Amino acid sequence: MAAETHALLPRSFFARDALEVARDLLGKLLRRDGVIVRITEVEAYRHPNDSANHCRFGLTERNAAMWGPPGRAYVYLCYGVHNMLNLSTNEEGEGAAVLIRSAEPVLGLTEIQRRRGGMSGPGLLTGPGKVGQVLQLDTSWSHHPVTEPGGLEALDAPPVREILAGPRVGIDFAAPADRDAPWRLAVAGTKWVSAPKGLRPV
């Protein structure tokens, strides 16, 4: 899959409800330097009434990138270890984003394996912390526009026909309706998914 044949996703792609963007991000590509990965699993964090959303208490220095403009990276450090990549959605001023949970290698497999300590197989990229590690991201990447050339880029690719959906992971603190909402989406028929349990065809 030649990287040159894939156009950057436009800002308008991200300027929609997070759940809609999440669905359409499946199968799209992320590129940084010589590494390209295909997005296989995502979670939507919506605006305005999602109690699992980092923006539920308002704008902070940490979550500022989620408030837009759309198409910006929001990277946060989880448990002091894992850098988690999100992409901002909705209109500017609406705190929402899509978490990139899993991906699969497209280009640069040798380098991807090196960054993951020589690991091979789906364990390379099944988990948001692993995606951040492979793309060599940290919190300094927050606010980076993935719709512009250079650095981390989001690239177009053919749409995914069959998807799975289920509850998001690790949000026990959220309201029951938000815990149960099927806002985690994955490509059907792939091993490159972090938590297949609970996912169902839609």
Q: What φ, ψ does residue 22 adopt, rounded to 5°?
A: -55, -45
Given this model, what pLDDT does residue 127 score? 96
Token pair of 115 as six digits: 């960054």
Tell me whether residue 121 is exposed, middle or buried, using C-beta atoms within 10 angstroms of its C-beta: 0 to 12, 13 to 18, 19 or more.
exposed
Alpha carbons 55 and 57: distance in angstroms, whole number: 5
Alpha carbons 32 and 115: distance in angstroms, whole number: 13
CB 15 within 8 A of CB 152: no
Query: Which residue, 163, 152, 155, is CA-closest to 189?
Result: 163
Task: Label the pairing between strands 152-155 and 35-45.
Answer: unpaired
Alpha carbons 68 and 93: distance in angstroms, whole number: 6
Task: Give residue-wise pLDDT tens across range 57-77.
Answer: 999 999 999 999 999 999 999
Bridge partners (DSSP) listed for residue 42? 100, 185
CA distances 122 to 51, 153, 194, Å, are 31, 22, 9
Residue 144 DSSP label: -
Cβ-count burial 144-166 (b if 16+ within 10 Å, e if not):
bbbbeeeebbbbbbeebeebbbb
Each of the 202 residues of the chain gets a pLDDT tens digit; together they read 444 578 999 999 999 999 999 999 999 999 999 999 999 999 999 999 999 999 999 999 999 999 999 999 999 998 778 999 999 999 999 999 999 999 999 999 999 999 999 999 989 999 999 999 999 999 999 999 999 999 999 999 999 999 999 999 999 999 999 999 999 999 999 999 999 999 999 9
- Over the Cα atoms of the chain, what is R_g? 15
Token pair of 28 as six digits: 């799209």
Given this model, what pLDDT does residue 4 score? 54
